[in-house]
């Protein structure tokens, strides 16, 4: 059972969104080729789905500006612009993404007291989203993942997949992903590789 996990390919993380990843929209055609390839038995997607006033937003902290470090529930937290607020255009999947082919959507980041980069659990690792249980129930043996952003939500999702889905082959599709910071992307890829995630291209994935 081979699954494709599309991570946060949303308007908010593409140019024109509230927290755009450089060239984030360029992955959409690649993701669509993967979706439409027929290579995957199951297509799942994560969706950042924050309540208004989420604690990771700089606007929720007096005097804080986006991209400054702050505190959330007693732990260091990057302060982000308001983004992917539930039921807003910013939170919707990119309009060109073949989202009608997605079999299961895992929303995340709904607890205002903790951020959630990974599609599998909150950042404090105390609350699971349920995605791992869903993939296990479906009998997934291979998981390819890609999306936005490589150095945040994609990396943490890949590392959690390795830990929470023992025995499942995990691959990161590099050209169907984009990151925020080039140095951070390199570090993220090195960390994923060290933890046993295979780094592949979409051509490799579709071979």
Residue 25 included in any domain = yes
Active site residue 2: no
Residue 24 included in any domain = yes
Active site residue 108: yes
Q: Is residue 84 within 8 Å of residue 90, measured between CB atoms? A: yes
The rounded distance, in Å, linking the Cα atoms of 115 and 48 is 10
The candidate with the shortest Cα–Cα distance to 123, out of 110, 132, 135, 136, is 110
The rounded distance, in Å, linking the Cα atoms of 115 and 33 is 31
Active site residue 153: yes
- The whole-chain average pLDDT of the chain stands at 97
Residue 13 included in any domain = yes
pLDDT tens for residues 25-51?
999 999 999 999 999 999 999 999 999
The rounded distance, in Å, linking the Cα atoms of 4 and 144 is 5
Residue 76 included in any domain = no
Residue 35 included in any domain = yes
Catalytic residue among 14, 108, 146, 160: 108
Residue 138 included in any domain = yes
Q: Is the pLDDT of residue 65 over 90?
A: yes
Q: What CATH code is carried by the domain that includes residue 167? A: 3.40.50.850
Catalytic residue among 48, 153, 155, 160: 153
Domain range for residue 189?
A: 2-50+86-206
pLDDT tens for residues 7-28?
999 999 999 999 999 999 999 9
Catalytic residue among 8, 48, 90, 144: 8
pTM check: above 0.95: yes
pLDDT for position 126: 87
Residue 64 included in any domain = no
Residue 32 included in any domain = yes
Q: Is residue 153 within 8 Å of residue 119, measured between CB atoms? A: yes
Q: Give the count of domains, the chain.
A: 1
């Amino acid at each position: 059972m081979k699954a494709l996990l599309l991570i946060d390919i949303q308007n908010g993380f593409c140019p024109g969104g509230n927290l755009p990843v450089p060239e984030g929209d360029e992955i959409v055609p690649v993701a669509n080729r993967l979706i439409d390839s027929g290579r995957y038995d199951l297509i799942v997607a994560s969706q950042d789905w924050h309540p208004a006033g989420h604690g990771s937003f700089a606007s929720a902290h007096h005097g804080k500006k986006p991209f400054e470090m702050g505190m959330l529930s007693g732990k260091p937290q990057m302060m982000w612009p308001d983004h992917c607020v539930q039921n807003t255009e910013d939170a919707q999947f990119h309009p060109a993404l073949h989202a009608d082919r997605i079999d299961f959507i895992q929303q995340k980041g709904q607890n205002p007291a903790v951020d959630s980069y990974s599609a599998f659990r909150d950042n404090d690792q105390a609350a699971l989203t349920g995605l791992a249980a869903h993939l296990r129930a479906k009998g997934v043996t291979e998981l390819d993942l890609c999306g936005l952003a490589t150095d945040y939500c994609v990396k943490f999702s890949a590392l959690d997949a390795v830990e929470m889905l023992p025995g499942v082959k995990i691959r990161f599709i590099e050209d169907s992903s984009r990151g925020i910071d080039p140095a951070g992307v390199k570090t993220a890829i090195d960390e994923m590789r060290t933890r046993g995630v295979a780094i592949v291209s979409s051509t490799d994935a579709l071979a």
